[in-house]
């Protein structure tokens, strides 16, 4: 994978009708950095990562984020933390594309 050092995430934002859109900007044995986009009505099901910490950073749009037993509507410039072992997921109940960065560390094996 070629590494771009300076990235404009919104230049890569797009929707997929068949499933949520994902692209990876960087991965190493320590870290995974990617972009996720959810069309209206799409979701990332509740799941957890036993050995990885994760955070989401909302770039554009708004969505309903769940971490553990907490749920909150989050908009652009919101940081959402999901420590290892804590269930987390995202829903886009709105009418616009939801675009968010996803970072996992260490890299999932």
Task: Express each pLDDT in 62-96 by its tens digit.
Answer: 999 999 999 999 999 999 999 999 999 999 999 99
Return d(Cα 85, Cα 91) in angstroms, integer: 20
Task: Express each pLDDT in 5-58 by its tens digit.
Answer: 999 999 999 999 999 999 999 999 999 999 999 999 999 999 999 999 999 999
Domains of the chain, by residue range, sit at: 21-105
Partner residues linked to 73 by β-bridges: 64
pTM of the model: 0.94
Return d(Cα 75, Cα 1) in angstroms, integer: 31
Q: Which CATH architecture has domain 21-105?
A: Sandwich (2.60)
Q: Residue 108: which pLDDT band, with cuts at 50, 70 and 90?
A: confident
pLDDT of residue 2: 61
Q: Compute and round to an integer the Cα radius of gyration of the chain.
A: 13
Query: Do the Cβ atoms of 26 and 20 come closer than 8 Å?
Result: no
């Amino acid at each position: 994978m070629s590494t771009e050092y300076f990235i404009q995430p919104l230049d890569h934002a797009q929707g997929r009708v068949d499933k949520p859109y994902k692209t990876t900007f960087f991965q190493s044995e320590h870290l995974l950095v990617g972009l996720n986009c959810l069309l209206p009505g799409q979701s990332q099901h509740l799941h957890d990562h036993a050995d990885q910490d994760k955070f989401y950073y909302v770039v554009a749009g708004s969505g309903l984020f769940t971490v553990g037993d907490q749920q909150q509507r989050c908009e652009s410039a919101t940081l959402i933390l999901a420590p290892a072992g804590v269930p987390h997921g995202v829903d886009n109940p709105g009418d616009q594309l939801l675009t968010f960065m996803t970072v996992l560390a260490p890299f999932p094996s």
